[in-house]
Amino acid sequence: MIRLCVVCGKEITAKFRKSYCSDICRFKAPFMPKKKRKRKRKETLCWSCDNACTGCSWSKALVPVKGWDATPIRIKYNSDVREYTDSYIVHDCPQFIPTKR
Ligand code: SF4
Ligand SMILES: [Zn+2]
Q: Phi and psi for 25 in degrees, rounded to 5?
A: -70, -35
Residue 101 lies in a domain: no
Residue 72 lies in a domain: yes
Residue 86 lies in a domain: yes
Q: How many domains in the chain? A: 2
pLDDT given for residue 4 in this prediction: 94
Residue 98 lies in a domain: no
pLDDT above 90 for 12: yes
pLDDT tens-place string over residues 68-91: 999 998 887 777 777 888 899 999
Tell the residue nearest (CA) to atom 4 of ligand 1: 46
Prediction pTM value: 0.58
Residues at CB less than 6 angstroms from ligand 1: 45-46, 49, 51-52, 56, 58-59, 65, 68, 90, 93, 95-96
pLDDT tens-place string over residues 51-74: 999 999 999 999 999 999 999 988
If asked whether residues 26 and 49 sit together in one domain, one would say no
